[in-house]
Structure 1
Amino acid sequence: MRRPRRATADRPFIVIWEATQACPLACLHCRASARPDRDPQELTSAEAVDLMGQVAEFGRPAPLFVITGGDPFQRPDLTTLVRRGTELGLAVSVSPSGTPTLTRQALRDLRDAGARAISLSLDAADAAAHDGFRGVPGVYELTRRAWDDAASLGLRVQINTTVTRDTVDELPRIAARVREHGAMLWSVFFLVPTGRGRALSSLDAAETEDVLNILYDLGETVPVKTTEAHHFRRVCLQRAVLARRGVPAAEALGLGPLYRRLRRRLDELGLTGLPRRPRRPPLQVSAGNGFVFVSHRGQVHPSGFLPVPAGDVRRERLVDIYREAPLFTALRDPGLLRGRCGACEFRTVCGGSRARAYAVTGDVHAEEPACGYQPGSFPYPDDLAEVLSPAGA
């Protein structure tokens, strides 16, 4: 387990800014329910620079700063804002959409302005399925080209993949693409039913468990992380104990048919039995606890998937909202978790997706709906006590 070097109650590890909700795509899962045109109430250029100044107020090194959307390239001032953020001492990354604005020259301009990295979305391993998920033909090819262009320009690339019941079987082939083309990170997003994503079919708790264990299996092949699946941290700790004891994970954890199906596909694609790469331990960051999201209108949320505002950067300083807003301080208190999350021995390292709990139940402290773990059921509690200690985790 990795923890941020500085206390997450004092400063976030990462700040995400939704620069605009404008986007020409019609992605089936879109959190923002993006629209074709820019909102006249989105932050102006001057207000955006002020926001970045507020992020810098957290001190050096500043939190990571990611400009997302919508499609950030729908803002004509994007390159200028990247340059100003860099001048303020921020490590700026951009998360563009796969649209015709995503050209090699545009990526070069971002790099020259100081951008460190970009993230690109890949939800299927072929054009037909990916473009169908994104709602517009040609997106797959634009994304593939941008991946190559960014790498050749020296920009680091993160690949984002959204998992639903309809896309889960694409994961092995996407993993193969990530290994083949190279990426600093593959971030697997587990669907939160918010925005347009409410119309999609999520994995159930048992299926989620199967996929999390597949991602663990891939951890020595590709650099993988999860988003809105905080119980991946639990899985990593469980698997470490089982590996040390030489106990087969599929049997000990009762993994199901989805795990076996995906594992066979990994074997067929040659993604198992490869020379090992260093495993990337999961980072202990979650909504309001190391993570903060600022909307296109300046409202501050614990996460982009948790649409509960805690303040507004047009009226308050981000530092004060993050440190003092009741919603943020409550999310940092594991003692407020309810149900199985509140009783779980992993609650201080996991805590579940507060966004999914809110989307499903309306309660940010409710138990994680996509987790089927029964507290206290892991068969090696003494080993867990060791790995859950600050030194072990």
Structure 2
Amino acid sequence: MTRHPLRSARRDTASTPFIVIWEATRACPLACLHCRAEARPDRDPAELTTGEATELMRQITAFGRPAPLFVITGGDPFARPDLYDLIRRARELGLSPAVSPSATPALTPAALTRLHRAGASVISLSLDGATAAAHDEFRGFGGVFGRTLRAWQSARDTGLKVQINTTVTRTNLMDLPDIAHLVRERGALLWSVFLLIPTGRGRALTSLTAAETEDVLNFVHDIGRTVPVKTTEAHHFRRVALQRHVLAVRGADHEQVLGLGPLYRDLRRRAEAHGLIGADRNRRPPIDVNAGRGLVFVSHTGEVSPSGFLPLPAGNVRERPLTDIYRDSEVFTSLRDPARLGGRCGACEFGSVCGGSRSRAFAVTGDALAEEPWCGYEPGSFPYPGDLAELL
């Protein structure tokens, strides 16, 4: 039986999120070029206290079973001295916390061992270049690339699973096959390919065109049988997965039918040189989750928004339970209504499984319901609508 090219969250995302991301702090000594949080060296006195953070975790468990995925991010979570206590409390409450640290001097083998012993099972590390020069320039400090590679190995030795996150900008496009090669060689639970949202410090970076985005997403699809890969803020990857599935079944030339460009051919050639094309493992189907529709973000001060990249305040967990905010606030309910999407997203046959990046729409246009700016697909143009209808 052929595997479906997409997967669902296996829960009603109108009532229960698939994932809750908590920004434990904005403190971080790095100066990353894309930083959403515009992190600063010192902690904010208004951060959630240990007790308030524990209450937040209780609110997350109130969504029921299975509990949402719970990610502690920052800034750098290691800037909080109560991090290990919070992880233990999360475990006691029935959550499985993952941690997204920065590659600062605090990211030591001893710290990773303590994370694992406290109850963390997964960490994510950022790798935005395949060389020290490229990655360290992006991160704003020297030595970060080497520290990241050492932490990656130490985490795996400790028993932690590692996800690698890569932010895609025009400056590192040609590094993507080399980064994928590192992920394959060093081993990772997942490679998360994140399409830049021009918010925070990321506003100063050069955006991709819609055509370049199509080329990148099709490259990501190509290596999916060799590298366990997903996309972040690239919801139209779900459209690509459906298109490629139909074209493969029909034996059609995807490059020609989809009008892919020279960037795609360059990325594929580099991937082939690394042996990243043609493996026979099962592809990881992309999951149907979007800002406010399966995803909720809680800031360091308790403000709730649909995503860390979509700063539309919907309430504060100090004043209102997270369950109520997620289920009932106008910010969230509007994002879960595909009929309210504008432009091409509102007319697109893939709207129910894609919906475009609401964060990018907001960052570029100021309207969270506007069409996805980095998507070049014209609704109704795919030549096999009947095949799509069976999958949708």
Q: Does 1:2 align with 2:2?
A: no
How far is the alpha carbon of 1:152 from its aligned partner?
1.1
In the alignment, which of 233, 237, 242 is matched to residue 237 of structure 1? 242
Instruction: State how far apart, in whole Å, the 2-side matches of 1:106 and 1:52 are.
Output: 22
The residue that corresponds to 1:383 in the other structure is 387
Map of 1:253-268 to 2, 5 A cutoff?
Answer: 253-268=258-273
How far is the alpha carbon of 1:72 from its aligned partner?
0.3
The residue that corresponds to 1:329 in the other structure is 333
Amino acid at match of 2:365: T
Q: Secondary structure at the match of 2:164?
A: strand
Instruction: State how far apart, in whole Å, the 2-side matches of 1:319 and 1:240 are.
Output: 37
How far is the alpha carbon of 1:128 from its aligned partner?
1.0
The residue that corresponds to 1:296 in the other structure is 300
Q: Secondary structure at the match of 2:265?
A: helix
Q: Does 1:62 align with 2:82?
A: no
Instruction: State how far apart, in whole Å, the 1-side matches of 2:85 and 2:172 are.
Output: 37
Q: Secondary structure at the match of 1:16?
A: strand
The residue that corresponds to 1:32 in the other structure is 37
> With structure 2 as the length reference, what TM-score do the two structures score?
0.98
The residue that corresponds to 2:227 in the other structure is 222
In the alignment, which of 338, 343, 350 is matched to residue 347 of structure 2? 343
Instruction: State how far apart, in whole Å, the 2-side matches of 1:175 and 1:226 are.
Output: 13
Amino acid at match of 1:365: L
Tell me how large the CA RMSD over aligned residues is: 0.6
In the alignment, which of 251, 263, 288 is matched to residue 284 of structure 1? 288
Map of 1:138-177 to 2, 5 A cutoff?
Answer: 138-177=143-182
How far is the alpha carbon of 1:268 from its aligned partner?
1.7
Instruction: State how far apart, in whole Å, the 1-side matches of 2:82 and 2:145 are.
Output: 26
Q: Secondary structure at the match of 1:219?
A: helix
How far is the alpha carbon of 1:387 from its aligned partner?
1.2
> With structure 1 as the length reference, what TM-score do the two structures score?
0.98
How far is the alpha carbon of 1:178 from its aligned partner?
0.4
Instruction: State how far apart, in whole Å, the 1-side matches of 2:272 and 2:225 are.
Output: 14
Q: Secondary structure at the match of 2:333?
A: helix
Q: Does 1:306 align with 2:310?
A: yes
Q: Does 1:213 align with 2:218?
A: yes
In the alignment, which of 367, 374, 385 is matched to residue 371 of structure 2? 367
In the alignment, which of 248, 251, 254 is matched to residue 256 of structure 2? 251
How far is the alpha carbon of 1:318 from its aligned partner?
0.2
How far is the alpha carbon of 1:60 from its aligned partner?
1.8
Instruction: State how far apart, in whole Å, the 1-side matches of 2:387 and 2:66 are.
Output: 36
Instruction: State how far apart, in whole Å, the 1-side matches of 2:361 and 2:192 are.
Output: 21
Amino acid at match of 2:332: F
Q: Secondary structure at the match of 1:327?
A: helix
Instruction: State how far apart, in whole Å, the 2-side matches of 1:189 and 1:361 are.
Output: 20
The residue that corresponds to 1:74 in the other structure is 79
Amino acid at match of 2:18: F
The residue that corresponds to 2:356 in the other structure is 352
Instruction: State how far apart, in whole Å, the 1-side matches of 2:234 and 2:277 are.
Output: 23
Map of 1:265-276 to 2, 5 A cutoff?
Answer: 265-273=270-278, 275-276=279-280
Q: Secondary structure at the match of 1:157?
A: strand
The residue that corresponds to 2:18 in the other structure is 13
Percentage of identical aligned residues = 69
Tell me if structure 1 keeps the 8 A contact 2:165–2:193.
yes
Residue by residue, what CA displacement relative to the aligned partner does 1:318-350 show, whole Å, maximum 9, x if unpaired?
000000001101100000001000000000000
Instruction: State how far apart, in whole Å, the 1-side matches of 2:94 and 2:198 are.
Output: 35
**Alignment gaps of 5+ in structure 1:** 389-393
How far is the alpha carbon of 1:248 from its aligned partner?
1.1
Instruction: State how far apart, in whole Å, the 2-side matches of 1:5 and 1:383 are.
Output: 24
In the alignment, which of 104, 111, 117 is matched to residue 106 of structure 1? 111
Q: Figure out how many residues of one structure are paired with residues of the other and give that number.
A: 387
Tell me if structure 1 keeps the 8 A contact 2:304–2:316.
yes
How far is the alpha carbon of 1:97 from its aligned partner?
0.3
Tell me if structure 1 keeps the 8 A contact 2:227–2:276.
no
Tell me if structure 1 keeps the 8 A contact 2:291–2:335.
yes
Runs of 4+ in 1 over 6 A off after TM superposition: none
The residue that corresponds to 1:391 in the other structure is none
Amino acid at match of 1:301: S
Instruction: State how far apart, in whole Å, the 1-side matches of 2:273 and 2:117 are.
Output: 42
Q: Secondary structure at the match of 2:225?
A: coil
How far is the alpha carbon of 1:193 from its aligned partner?
0.4
Instruction: State how far apart, in whole Å, the 1-side matches of 2:253 and 2:152 are.
Output: 37
Instruction: State how far apart, in whole Å, the 1-side matches of 2:194 and 2:277 are.
Output: 22
How far is the alpha carbon of 1:116 from its aligned partner?
1.4
Instruction: State how far apart, in whole Å, the 1-side matches of 2:162 and 2:71 are.
Output: 13
Tell me if structure 1 keeps the 8 A contact 2:162–2:190.
yes
In the alignment, which of 45, 49, 54 is matched to residue 50 of structure 2? 45
Amino acid at match of 2:355: G
